[in-house]
Amino acid sequence: MRYLPLTDTDRKAMLRRIGVTDIDTLFADIPRDKRLNGRLNGRLALPKAQGEMEVERALSRLAARNVPAGSVPFFVGAGAYKHHVPATVDHLMQRSEFLTSYTPYQPEIAQGTLQYLYEFQTQVAALTAMEVANASMYDGSTACAEAVSMAMRITRRRRAVLAGNLHPHYRETVETLCRLSGHEIVALPPAPRGTEDLAAYIDSNVACVVVQTPDFYGHLRDITALAEKAHAAGALLIAVFTEAVSLGLVEPPGAMGADIVAGEGQSIGNALSFGGPYVGLLATRHKHVRQMPGRLCGETVDQDGRRGFVLTLSAREQHIRREKATSNICTNSGLCALAFTIHMTLLGEAGLKRLARINHANAVQLADSLGEVPRVEVLNQAFFNEFTIRVPGDAAEIIEKLAAKGVLGGVPVSRLEPDRPELGDLIVVASTEVNTDDDRAAYVCALREVV
């Protein structure tokens, strides 16, 4: 569909009809520091208008400036990870029985869709050691925010405590939702070395405590004692993860007492894809299922006794009165959930554990090598496949110098925490099964030259 431009008269008539004075009023809820000042074409030196072929050439030149993740040694993580996705996943995703319906309102014609969502829920519940999981969320950050809202409904309290080492994007998503819903957030400052006392902030007014493991800086955390402290105060513990492969090796949150688990499933079955779409995971205890957002697929039998699948629970705003809905999420990330389910089925329990061990071993080898570079310090005592290093000088500049040498060396923390200059010398580094010995050697060599 081509864009049909409006005249100034058209725009004025539209604004007058909806009762606003100018177009900027429509964006009043977006913080000013998040808005783009000036024209986008001014930043990219684009003309106001061009022909179709000229536009295609210009955008192709811009795209060519990107460095594809698979073309150089790649150690970027911080919430989105490069893993190998078998070709079988894409092949099976295209089978018609799995793509019978976008939204499975009519189970008799959507058995393929309902079955894989049922299997998806089963896999997520098993991974997290929880009793029930929903049929996916948009991504990890919104799953985290929905988990906080869910805890507020269950406890009937209005305050959430966020760990300082929660992923900054997840923290910002929670803060945005709670700001608009009138809930209170207590966000602890970052603790790059992994030492923070969340228990000290728990009292009878707290609805939930949100903690991430492995956290943003890569630290692993035993949350058992924190869960006990939260429960003693009548609060819920929300455990968050960004790297789903870690659940193949580390203790699952449910086994440590978490009440709600939220995270990102991109690592399994889904490529980086320039940042999306991804698939959010959410699991909880059975007693909280009525407050769980999204929807739940179940297994049943038809009138002839044959196995079948149905939409068991769907407390969404399309189905019931809007004020009674647990969430206004309108759909699930169905295709990404399908990719997750196929890849997980191909791996199986033994395959996932082996994949997780390879990830961990690769990261340990890289951390040991980087730690030997003069003036470079590894901050973690324990981690899965991601860790944090302290470098001399500006980490963002070092990352750019590494990129110029053909190595994408990680994510400078300052990119996600621009208002905290004390974190300006930190880099979050991830190493997965796709990294080779040559990749790691290239990183170490380039970092020695840069620092």
Q: What is the DSSP string of 3-19?
A: -----HHHHHHHHHHHT
- pLDDT average, residue stretch 92-116: 81
Please name the helix (run of DSSP H) or strand (run of DSSP E) that holds residue 415, with its range, or none. Answer: helix 413-416
Beta-bridged to residue 185, according to DSSP, are: 160
Summary mean pLDDT of the chain: 92
Paired tokens of 109: 């014609």
Query: What gap in Å lies between CA 77 and CA 410, rounded to an integer?
Result: 7
Question: Residue 294 has what pLDDT?
Answer: 84
Q: Which residue in 263, 275, 267 sits closest to 144, CA to CA?
A: 263
Identity of the residue numbered 60 = S
Query: What gap in Å lies between CA 133 and CA 124, rounded to an integer?
Result: 6
Model pTM above 0.75: yes
Q: What is the DSSP string of 333-364?
A: -HHHHHHHHHHHHHHHHHHHHHHHHHHHHHHH
- pLDDT average, residue stretch 141-166: 96
Of 5-9, 78-82, 281-285, 390-394, the one with minimum mean pLDDT is: 5-9
Confidence of residue 318 (pLDDT cuts 50, 70, 90): low
Determine the Cα angle at 198 with ends 193 and 203, to 5°: 170
Q: Which residue in 161, 165, 163 sits closest to 217, CA to CA?
A: 165
Tell which wins on pLDDT, 251 or 274. Answer: 251
Give pLDDT tens digits for 391-426: 999 999 999 999 999 999 999 999 999 999 999 999
Peptide bond into 277 cis (omega under 30): yes
Give the distance from CA 193 to its chain's centroid: 22
- pLDDT average, residue stretch 15-43: 83
SS3 79: coil
Give pLDDT tens digits for 30-57: 888 888 777 665 566 777 778 889 989 9
Residue in the block written with tokens 């913080």: 31
| Maximum distance among all Cα pairs of the chain, rounded to whole angstroms | 72
End-to-end CA distance of the chain: 51
Question: Residue 50 has what pLDDT?
Answer: 83
Beta-bridged to residue 408, according to DSSP, are: 74
Question: Residue 31 has what pLDDT?
Answer: 86
Give pLDDT tens digits for 199-217: 999 999 999 999 999 999 9
Q: Which residue in 404, 397, 369 sits closest to 72, CA to CA?
A: 404
Residue 109 has pLDDT above 90, yes or no: no
Residue 427 has pLDDT above 60, yes or no: yes
Q: Which domains are delineated in the chain?
A: 87-344 (3.40.640.10), 349-450 (3.90.1150.10)
Paired tokens of 283: 């699991």
Tell which wins on pLDDT, 5 or 251. Answer: 251
Please name the helix (run of DSSP H) or strand (run of DSSP E) that holds residue 106, with its range, or none. Answer: none
